[in-house]
Structure 1
Amino acid sequence: LTHIIITIFCVFVSADFQHEPRYILYIHLVINDIILMTLLTLIQVLTYIIYTFHVWLCMLFLIFAVPANLNNPMTLAIMAIECYVAVCFPLRHAQICTVKKTYIVIGFIWLISAQSVLPDVFVALATENLDFFHSRAFCQREGIFRKSDIEKKKTAFNAVLMAIVWLCLIYTYFKILFTAKSASADAKKARNTVLLHTFQLMLSMLTYVNDPISIGLTNLFPQKVLAIRFAVAIIVNVMPRIVSPLVYGIRDTTFRKYLKVYLLFRLKERKLYTYFLLKALELYLM
């Protein structure tokens, strides 16, 4: 949490960060993961309290959660491409990777990810009775969008998207690898960065084993449905979203510098607070 706060503070306060496409993409990755973790945690907590949701409320959560889940791998692919351009086309990097183009790409990322859920919403609005939206159900995508064709469309969409993302990562890694053999340390650092993106993508893909794990454990322990869903959601969905931005941010020298400054400030602040507290206690006891 501390690192996320520092990251957001650095990017929005420092002009240097605001004009660097890689940092803009990184903060988009962090904010996107915050949105996803907030929604997932809210759904899990409310599930413990009220168990079922009104269908319209669950649908509203899904409209934001599904795109946020898909934005992560697409952002990682774009970050890998930015590294590839910086290493293989250093003279044209400033022209290709501009701030304006970065924001346009982020807009396209949200537009593409929205195509995974918005058509499902329109199909549900057109085919379901009005009473269905006011009924209560367990907040799962499969239970809200009940048409069999929707499930097939979701599988095909995710498969095509993941294939494109993996091709981008593999292609950029090998192009940077060949460049790094006879280039500077920056190229080798970029190669390691793409490897880190691959590791982050593997963590984010744990989302796709959420349902099989939940169903398997529920069949084994049918009386622990809520506990299983909560534990699986934390391990599969939340933990990878916390680990990947944290590792990437600490690895970056600029963010690491701000992190050290922030931690030293908090340490001095705590020492000062303790000093004044002891002085106040000493005066009170006199």
Structure 2
Amino acid sequence: MNSTTRLDDFNNAFIKNFISCFLGVLINTINGFFVYIFFRNATFQRDPRYILYVHLVLNDILMLTIAVFLQILSYLVPFINLSFCCFLVLLAVTTDRNSPFNLAGMAVERYIAVCRPLHHAQICTVRRTYVLIGLIWCVSLFPSLSDIVLLLVTQPLAIFSSRVRCHVAAVNYTPYHQGQSVAVQVINLSFVFLTLIVTYLNVMFAARRATTDQASAMKARNTILLHALQLLICMLAYFTPLTNMVLLYAFPQQRTTILFTNFLFTSILPRLLSPLIYGVRDQKMLNCIKVSLSCRQTTARHSYREVGILLLYLAVGVSVFSGMAYTAEYEEDVGLDTIPACWWWGTVSMTTMGYGDVVPVTVAGKLAAGGCILGGTLVVALPITIIFNKFSHFYRKQKALEASVRNNNNPIFTPSPSLPPRNIKPPP
């Protein structure tokens, strides 16, 4: 079922895994920042639109994590137990199918907001939004579970104790799986595509009929167009087998490079588009991002002296204790016989990382190491406390400013012009 030969040497494998890990951590960090903004603002948690959006972002985080994990696992442990592989493939395929349905739900919500504004509050409630999310997971999970059931029916139970290269083809390789996969993909994409087309046309006609709020209708139409673009990007994964076949036929010697490039452009990079083309475009979300970033920028701008002192203390400490370690250990064969090696050891020790790759053995060297560790703890702890206090000060100041602006824009009580003031008696 799987080849036992490695297709990449160490350098190529390291570069590919490094690129995947770097992009995965970067994209998940950006997506995680949007999730953080969502849970920090109670207004977002009461809006079905943002609930569906953050579900899409969380789904992308989970899918990207599993995809990168499977790639790294294929190099570190090429063959794993089929049962564990079935679990990983189940999560990967389910999260991949969630994205189109989530986009369809977001398009329908925008359609109701524009074309049925009086019924939007009654139809699009928070409870129904979470029910829709549960339904999306059920619809996406059912075909994946049926794939495992087909494997149980068509293959002996002993196959689940075998070891395979973990890939979708390792689980869904029978003709029954292939037919079901094609049918599920066609039905799902047809449903989502028709949903986007219908909602877009209705919103477009509503925008033409609108006389008071044309800007809102046009913005909703553009939002649905962005959903269609995201759906098109999601559909790239379905064209991957075709592009792989064509490119591998033309360039058979570049097999691993072609497969890795398609993996980047169809599984990793599209996960960055959800926050960029939707989250940043939303004015309310963008304002919250600016407030959060401005607080950090203000703290950094007012803490440059403390940061400079921290770096200066670290540089002095590393220089002093590296020299002491070199003096005590240069005759010993422990890896501290050069100044650069001692600088590396001093940096690792003072920043309290402590890899343990280089360890002094003499009494003087151990005393220098103890002083380096204690000095690093004090040097790092003192400026960090000052920086944290400044951050708390500017954060409270920013929150107070936001509250004052909110109170000025939304007064708590506005007297009715038809009623006389309560404390003023009318003339007799």
Instruction: Bin the TM-score by the shorter chain.
Output: over 0.9
Separation in 2 of the partners of 1:173 and 1:263? 34
Deviations 1:122-150 (A, max 9, x none): 12123322332222223222231232011
Separation in 1 of the partners of 2:168 and 2:311? 57
Correspondence for 2:284 among 254, 275, 286: 254
In the alignment, what sits opposite 2:201? 174
* Stretch of structure 1 that moved more, 22-31 or 41-50: 41-50
* Stretch of structure 1 that moved more, 216-225 or 187-196: 216-225
- In the TM superposition, what is the alpha-carbon distance from 1:63 to its structure 2 partner? 1.0
Separation in 2 of the partners of 1:132 and 1:273? 61
Deviations 1:202-251 (A, max 9, x none): 01111101222234434445555444333211111111121233220000
Aligned length: 285
In the alignment, what sits opposite 1:196? 226
Separation in 2 of the partners of 1:99 and 1:194? 21
| 8 Å CA contact retained: 1:206, 1:236 | yes
Separation in 1 of the partners of 2:189 and 2:255? 30
Separation in 2 of the partners of 1:225 and 1:55? 25
Which is higher, the Rg of structure 1 or of structure 2?
A: 2
Correspondence for 1:267 among 269, 273, 297: 297
- In the TM superposition, what is the alpha-carbon distance from 1:272 to its structure 2 partner? 4.6
Correspondence for 1:155 among 168, 179, 182: 182
Deviations 1:239-272 (A, max 9, x none): 1121233220000011111221222233234445
Q: How does 1:206-245 map to 2 (within 5 A)?
A: 206-222=236-252, 224-245=254-275
| 8 Å CA contact retained: 2:31, 2:272 | no
| 8 Å CA contact retained: 1:204, 1:241 | no
Separation in 2 of the partners of 1:4 and 1:160? 29
Q: CA RMSD in A?
A: 2.0
Higher relative contact order (CA 8 A, sep 6+): 1
In the alignment, what sits opposite 1:6? 33
Separation in 2 of the partners of 1:282 and 1:75? 51
Q: Which has the higher helix share?
A: 1
Q: How does 1:53-202 map to 2 (within 5 A)?
A: 53-183=80-210, 184=213, 185-202=215-232
The gaps in structure 2 that reach 5 residues or longer are: 1-26, 317-428
Correspondence for 1:278 among 305, 308, 313: 308
Scaled by the length of structure 1, the TM-score of the pair is 0.92
In the alignment, what sits opposite 2:48? 21
Q: Aligned to 2:209, what secondary structure does the other structure show?
A: coil
Q: Aligned to 2:280, what secondary structure does the other structure show?
A: helix
Q: Which amino acid aligns with 2:225?
A: L
- In the TM superposition, what is the alpha-carbon distance from 1:45 to its structure 2 partner? 1.3
Separation in 2 of the partners of 1:282 and 1:207? 51
The gaps in structure 1 that reach 5 residues or longer are: none
Separation in 2 of the partners of 1:48 and 1:29? 29
Q: Which amino acid aligns with 2:238?
A: Y
* Stretch of structure 1 that moved more, 161-170 or 243-252: 243-252
Q: Which amino acid aligns with 1:247?
A: I
Q: Which amino acid aligns with 1:166?
A: F
Q: Aligned to 1:261, what secondary structure does the other structure show?
A: helix
Deviations 1:40-72 (A, max 9, x none): 111111112233332222211111111100110
